[in-house]
A and B are shown apart, each in its own frame.
Chain A
């Protein structure tokens, strides 16, 4: 990487973009998380037995933080790239002496930054319900960063492929949300029938939620190493895909 100043400028631009509309980008996920915690954790949670020694509220807090983080990282990069494509200012990046790798890293930094800020906010909100959960800060932080990278990269892929705004929401509604909900955010996978347990093993979100939950509570539904490896594999594949798309100019150059 030769143009670190350029990379830093683009990353700052990405962060400035979501901070300039912080009501939408930072406050909204906090309110949604607060509602989830109140309805599922506080109200319904009283009726649900504990799991592996932790209360239902403690069980769902990592999942709800994950949901907000995934949505925030994905939305940040997908909207940024899609609006740039739509308005035409993607040309600023395509005509600048930035390598394609530098462009992808800078945009991803924007998504990671928004994901981390939202995570911190939801974590603080969740403290009102169950105190400050923390089993291993290192595990929590590593999983958080890796997950924000995965969904920032996924957001870029979807934005490049999309021809209109509808495509962004279609991916969110039909792929991302079902995977998040089926990935063990609100329920332990072990309570599902055997067939659904097997199907869940193919859901990458299950590994991500489980790894992050381990960091906060010390409870995981699958090995932490396999969760880590799934995340790394996704990052490698998505990063290579996005850099190749930029290099070829797929749906970016005419």
Chain B
């Protein structure tokens, strides 16, 4: 079966800046895929390359086997996009108008478009706002409208750039439920998010992008297990000025009076590290353990810990 999205050696340069540096990955049909990375990592550029919002410098992007440049009409029909920027909603249309016209652009007849818009407005609790100028909507309402707009032509692939930014917890949970339902129907979701908990809860696989490169790609579970981000924090009395060479070799990091030991599947590291700490004459006052979390993996891989 052809992948829902296939990206091969994608490169995107902005003048002298290489925003995406030859990334490749496939997203299977029916998969919930998360793309994580710090700001400016290349997530939105990658999404824009799939949807046709950037000119690709080199490489190829296919949607269900169709090239996004040569067969752009076929690929665009299959994709629903919710952009990160809520300013991009058409300011000359009402809430309902945004949905009906968007459906029209995708070839849906007016009667059908109005019916579909009505259902989505109801579902996203926007019926009472259907004739309102979009500039009068709250951020959360705009976000819901943006997602409704992405769904209005019943796409096979839903691409969401930071979909729950600005939503309160209750709405975020509702959104997660909707997205799970969408995937259960055999549809594909590509999601970028700053909420790592969101990716961990929803995504079957996760790709981590940093500085335009795909630095990790695996199932969420494998990623967490493989990297074994479980760590132990040792708090000592007094400030640590310099780490001993054996501690450095064990990969221990230090911040003020705290040392972090990354287990990486080798539990003997803990004993060795504690021995070395004692040898340095430091008094241990507390030992804390941290759970394996995608967030830890993400922070370690992107060097932001």
Binding site for B on A (CB under 8 A): 2-3, 5-6, 8-10, 12-13, 16-17, 20, 83-84, 87-89, 91-99, 248-249, 253-254
Contact = CB atoms under 8 A, between A and B. Distances in A.
Given A17-B92, A89-B88, A254-B54, A5 B109 contact: yes
Given A3-B73, A5-B108, A12-B104, A95 B53 contact: yes
B52 A95 contact: yes
A93 B55 contact: no
Contact of A89 (B90, B108, B109, B110): B90
Contacts of A88: 83, 85, 87-88
Taking chain A's interface residues, is the majority helix, strand, or loop, or is none over half, making it mixed? helix
B183 interface: no
A20 B109 contact: no
Interface residues of B, number: 35
Contacts of B55: 248-249, 253-254
Given A94-B52, A95-B52, A16 B105 contact: no
Interface of B: 14, 48, 51-55, 72-74, 76-77, 79, 81, 83, 85, 87-93, 97, 101-110, 113
B142 to A, nearest CB: 13
B12 to A, nearest CB: 9
B188 to A, nearest CB: 16
A9 B53 contact: no
12 contacts: A5-B104, A6-B104, A13-B93, A87-B90, A91-B83, A92-B102, A93-B105, A94-B52, A96-B76, A97-B73, A253-B54, A254-B48
Contact of B101 (A12, A84, A95, A248): A12
Contacts of A9: 101, 103-105, 110, 113
B92 A6 contact: no
Given A6-B107, A87-B90, A254-B14, 19 more contacts: A5-B107, A5-B109, A9-B103, A9-B110, A9-B113, A10-B105, A13-B92, A13-B93, A17-B92, A87-B88, A89-B88, A89-B91, A91-B83, A92-B88, A92-B102, A96-B105, A97-B105, A98-B73, A249-B55
